[in-house]
Amino acid sequence: MARFDEIYQEMLKKVVKDGIAEMSERTKHETKAIPGLHFSIDIEKEGFPLLTLRKIPIKMFVAEQIWFVSGARKPADFLRDFTKVWDAFTNPADTVTVAYGYRWRRHFGRDQLALLVDLLKKEPTSRHGVVVTWDPSGDGLSLFKKKNVPCPYSFTVNIIGGRLHLHNIVRSNDMLLGFPSDVAGFALLQMMLAQKLDVKPGVYSHSISNAHIYDNQYDAVNELLKRKPNHKPIHIELPKHSYDRAEKKEGKLVEQIAAEFAAQYEPQPAIIGLQIVL
């Protein structure tokens, strides 16, 4: 049985049972929210954390993560060929100001991903493998309604026992829509980094400061909690040189990785009509 489906239901149940219902001043929607929600899963032993309780668009998170690794910030640059998920967050220049990959590779005057890879090649036991997305010079701490600020705002990579482990730290997660895609995307990044560094992928960890569901999602959450996890664990092998090919924005790489997932992915029916609250 796919362990991630069980983990996901456990997390949803906790939000439903213990979540505090409050009205958001920004979105004008009620949310149920809890602080400090966390999970870990061993990708090598327990399988890839791809939700099967409902259908997740595979090419969406695969193309998104490749776009991140490339350091691009315009959806027209590769991403829009596969998904329009970031179109709602563009500015008038059709640019995503806080595009994660751009923040990782260019925004702070350092290529954090390249430095991470170089550090762990030369010093695999280093505990300094931290990549930051949040820019304290402009993100957050303001009543000005910005179109987007980073949700996953930092991640840490460690090689322990010959395996690469990634800890993703998230300030805010919509548990129905954002969370499953974030988990799948960053777990894919973990696998790309592990392959690049010639080690096995290990434990993926995900810590959320504010885990919530919106009032227009309550029925869908109840439906997901009724479904029985019955999917086999998913274990994939990435095409060779996936990290390097992602840097070059190879469209064929999206198709190849998506095919790896599709060969094993037999999700339960999609839930129609889900809408992102901006």
- On the question of pLDDT at 21 being above 70, the answer is yes
**Can you spell out the DSSP letters for 74-117?**
-TTTTGGGT--TTGGG--TTS--TT-HHHIIIIITSS-HHHHHH
Task: Print burial letters for 215-242: b (CB count within 10 Å at least 16), e (below 16).
Answer: eebeebbeebeeeebebeebebebbeeb
- On the question of pLDDT at 264 being above 90, the answer is yes
The pLDDT of residue 60 = 97
The pLDDT of residue 193 = 99
Task: Print burial letters for 121-149: b (CB count within 10 Å at least 16), e (below 16).
Answer: eeeeeeeebebbbbbeeebeeeeeeeebb
Q: Are 177 and 61 in contact (CB under 8 A)?
A: no
Structure tokens at 170: 């998230």
- Residue extents of the structural domains in the chain: 3-262
User: Which residue type is seen at 25?
Assistant: E
- On the question of pLDDT at 79 being above 80, the answer is yes
Dihedral over Cα of 119, 96, 63, 224: its sign: positive
Residue 12: alpha-carbon gap to chain centroid: 17
Strand partners, 132: 154
The pLDDT of residue 83 = 97
Confidence of residue 235 (pLDDT cuts 50, 70, 90): very high
By the 10 Å C-beta count (0-12 exposed, 13-18 middle, 19+ buried), 200 is classed as middle
Confidence of residue 276 (pLDDT cuts 50, 70, 90): confident
- On the question of pLDDT at 20 being above 70, the answer is yes
Backbone angles phi, psi at 190, to 5 degrees: -55, -45
The pLDDT of residue 278 = 64
The pLDDT of residue 27 = 82
Q: What 3-state class would DSSP assign to 196? A: helix
Please say whether the structural domain 3-262 has been given the CATH code 3.30.572.10: yes
- On the question of pLDDT at 32 being above 80, the answer is yes
- On the question of pLDDT at 15 being above 70, the answer is yes
Q: How far apart are CA 164 and CA 262, in angstroms?
A: 25
> Closest Cα partner for 199 from 188, 211, 190, 186?
190
Structure tokens at 5: 């489906």
pLDDT digits 0-9 by tens, 94-149: 999 999 999 999 999 999 999 999 999 999 999 999 999 999 999 999 887 777 89
Catalytic residues: 151
By the 10 Å C-beta count (0-12 exposed, 13-18 middle, 19+ buried), 153 is classed as buried
Give the pTM.
Answer: 0.97
